[in-house]
Amino acid sequence: MNSQEGYVSDRAIVSMTNVNPMRETFNASAHLIFNPDAEILNIGVAQNDLMQDVLKDKVSTSLEFQAKDTGYGDPHGSKKLRDLVAGLINRNFQPVLPLITDHILTTTGAGAAVFFLTLGITNPGDSVLVIAPYYGNFDSDVCVGTQVDNVPFYPSVTDDGDVSIDMDRLEECFQNAKEKNNKNIKAVLITNPHNPLGKCFSRESLETVLKFASKHTLHVISDEVYALSTFSHILDEKQENPFTSLLSFGNLDQLIDPALVHVIYGFSKDFCLNGFRVGFIIDQHNTKLRQYLKSSALFSYISSIMDRLLRNMLEDAEWVDSFFATNQRRIADAYKCATSLLDKHGLNYIPSQAGHFLMVDATSHPKISTVDDEKAVFFALLEQGVYIAPGHIFHTRKPGYFRLTFTLDRQKLETGLSKLAKVLQQL
C-alpha cells in the first residue's frame, strides 16, 4: 500500500466501495440542502415543518440547564428518559408486553440504532434482506464499517408501490441470494410505516415476514419511526389507524422466537426533531444482545442537556398526546393540499397513508427511460433552486419516481410542484 492509497484499512476500503445512491445525491447537493444560509426550496428531505410553532414554545420552556449537565450522562440514556419513552410507547404502540426501562437503549438517531443492531446480530460477510424500495441511508446505516451488505426484496415483480408481502416471493429471493450470489442473509429490515412509499404493512404481511424469518432463524428489525405520523384514518374516519407495531403481536412467540425481533424508534419524525439526533433500540427478549448494546453505548450517547430537555418535554404527557393528535391533523391537511396540487398539474402519484411524503410517479413520461434521465430532472430542478429526492436513491427499479415531502408551508409546495411540472413539460 502506498501513501496515495491513504493507509486505510480493508474495512474502510469495503465501506468506500459500497454503492450508496442517496449519499451520492446528498454530496452533489449538500452545499444547498445542508446549508442554512443557502437559497434552496427543499421538498425532498423528510422533514416536518408543520409543528414548528408548537415546538418552539415547548422546547423553549423545557430547555432548563443545571450544573450537573456539564458532566457525563448515562450512555444508555437516563433511567428517567427511558422510563418516559417506555410510557410513550406503551400508550401508543399497544405492546403486548409493556415496555420497561431495560428494554430501551438511547442512541444518536435511528440510523445509529440500525448500525449498532447490525453489528450486534451479523458477522463480516453477512447480508441483510431489506424490503424495497427502501430508505437510501440504509446503505450507510447497515453497510459502512460493518462489512455487511444489503439484499433488496421487492414484494411485487413489477410494481414498486406494492407492500403486500408473499411468502413464496420471499423464499425465492432468499434462495436466489444464497445459491446464485453466495449471500448469507442474517436479518430482515423493514420500515413500517414505509419509507419512501408512506404506506403501512398489513398485519398479514408482517406475519408473513415473521414466519419467514423464523423458518431461516433470521433477525427482524422493524424501523417504526413514522408510527405516530399516520393520517389516512384522519382523512376517512371509517378507516382504522393503518399502523401495526411488531410490539403488538399477541401471538409473537407462535410466529418466531421473540429474541429475534427488534424495533427502532426516534424523535426525528413523529416529534419533528430531525436535528436533535435521538433514537432508540427497543428489545424485550434478547438479554445477551442488550448486554452488547449497553457495552457499545459509549460510542453513541446523547448529551446531558439533551437528555434533560427531552425528559422535561415527555413529562407533560397531556402535551405529548395533544401534540401527536394535532400533528396528524396537520399532516392530513398537508397531504390533501399536496394531492390537490399534483392533480392540478396532471402529475401522477402513489397514494400514501403515513409519514411526510409521497412518491410522484413520472415513470410513464416518454423522455424518462433511464436513471440518467431521472437524474437530469433532479439537476434541472436543483438549478432552479428546488431539491426533490429522485427515486433511484431508494432503489426503485423503474426511472421516474420522485419522493415529495409535503409537510411544508403551502406556498413552498405550490412553488416546488409548479417548477417540477414545468421541468417535466420541457423535457
**Residue 1 pLDDT class (50, 70, 90 cuts):** very low
Which homologous superfamily is 3-53+320-425 in?
Answer: Aspartate Aminotransferase, domain 1 (3.90.1150.10)
What's the pLDDT at 5?
63
**Residue 207 pLDDT class (50, 70, 90 cuts):** very high
The three cell numbers locating residue 395: 432503489
The CATH 3.90.1150.10 domain(s) of the chain lie at 3-53+320-425
For 103-118, write each residue's pLDDT tens digit: 999 999 999 999 999 9
Q: Which CATH class is domain 66-316?
A: alpha beta
Residue type, position 192, single letter: N
What's the pLDDT at 14?
85
Segments in 40-194 forming alpha helices (H): 52-62, 79-92, 110-121, 138-141, 167-179
SS (H, E, C) 221-239: EEECCCCCCECHHHHCCCC
The CATH 3.40.640.10 domain(s) of the chain lie at 66-316
For 118-171, write each residue's pLDDT tens digit: 999 999 999 999 999 999 999 999 999 999 999 999 999 999 999 999 999 999
pTM for the whole structure: 0.95
Looking only at the bridges linking them, the beta strands covering 184-191 and 261-266 are: unpaired
Residue type, position 261, single letter: V
Nearest alpha carbon to residue 159 among 393, 359, 390, 21: 359
**193, 353 contact by CB (below 8 A):** yes
What's the rounded Cα separation, in Å, for the pair 376 and 243? Answer: 36
**Count of Cβ atoms closer than 10 Å to residue 349 Cβ:** 19
**Percentage of residues in the chain with pLDDT exceeding 70?**
99
